[in-house]
Amino acid sequence: MKKRSLQFLFLAFWLVFPAGIFAQGNSNWDTSHNSADFSTRISMGLKAGANLSNVYDAEGEEFDADAKLGLAAGAFFQIPLGSVLGFHPEVMFSQKGYQGSGSVLGSEYNYIRTTNFIDVPLLLAFKAGPMFTLVLGPQYSYLISQKYFLHTALGDINREEHFENENLGKNTLGLSGGFDLNLSHLVLSARGGWDILNNKGDGTSTTPRYKNRLVQVTLGYRF
């Protein structure tokens, strides 16, 4: 990841974190390390895991690709909004893409496309039980780089592009939902995500023809 991409990640982190903290005030911040009950106080943590991602054609044309694994890692915040509801923003580095293979005129080929995003899910949480939380909300995704690899009998082709996006309004709007399994300081999370719109950064948007979709599983530790 290039230096500018790291700066963008930190910017997204500090935009999300203080907004949630100051919205609740300091009364919910409990620094006691003896309590395992995180349901009534603001907490934050780090998590890492994997994405299983693919793309689909929104226009319904035939497009056959296989899912691929990618890295998912970042920070999460849990902000109570009462005894049942909460606000759970996240800032994640998320690898997406797809892969496939085929044959042209008897010659086999394989390809892999990897896209690296900074994902910012803004999730509303519903505490369904002391250990189980349902989450759902919009997700803003910022493309920072992409790589395409093609293997054929004639040789290999590698292409990689990096993007410098300083306009936070230029993003992909999606939907993210899933659940958290809360085990004291450990949080096991499962998410599903889908792209909805491409925001151009000037107040207009388009519907992308090829949309990302993924299943994400992470293990986190909250402080």
Question: CA-to-CA distance for 4 and 181, rounded, in angstroms?
Answer: 34
The pLDDT assigned to 15 comes to 53
**What does the block give as tokens for 70?**
């990618």
Residues of the chain with pLDDT under 70: 1-37, 59-63
Q: State the DSSP code for 148.
A: E
The CATH number, out of the four listed (3.90.105, 2.40.160, 1.10.1740, 2.60.40), of the domain defined by the range 3-21+47-97+118-143+170-222: 2.40.160
The torsion defined by the Cα of 30, 32, 35 and 36, in degrees rounded to 10, comes to 70
Q: Measuring CA to CA, which residue among 91, 88, 90, 111 is closest to residue 100?
A: 111
The pLDDT assigned to 32 comes to 42
> What residue type is 223 in one-letter code?
F
- Evaluate whether 143 touches 2 at the Cβ level (below 8 Å): no
The pLDDT assigned to 169 comes to 87
Q: State the DSSP code for 141.
A: E
* 132-152 and 170-183 beta bridge pairing: antiparallel
The pLDDT assigned to 28 comes to 45
The CA distances from residue 188 to 83, 120, 185, in Å, are: 21, 18, 10
Q: Measuring CA to CA, which residue among 189, 204, 196 is closest to residue 75?
A: 189
- What pLDDT digit, counting tens, does each position of 55-95 carry? 877 765 656 788 999 999 999 999 999 889 999 999 999 99
Percent of the chain with pLDDT over 90: 51
The torsion defined by the Cα of 63, 65, 70 and 72, in degrees rounded to 10, comes to 30
The pLDDT assigned to 102 comes to 75
Strand ranges in 128-166 using DSSP code E only, listed in sequence order: 132-152, 155-162
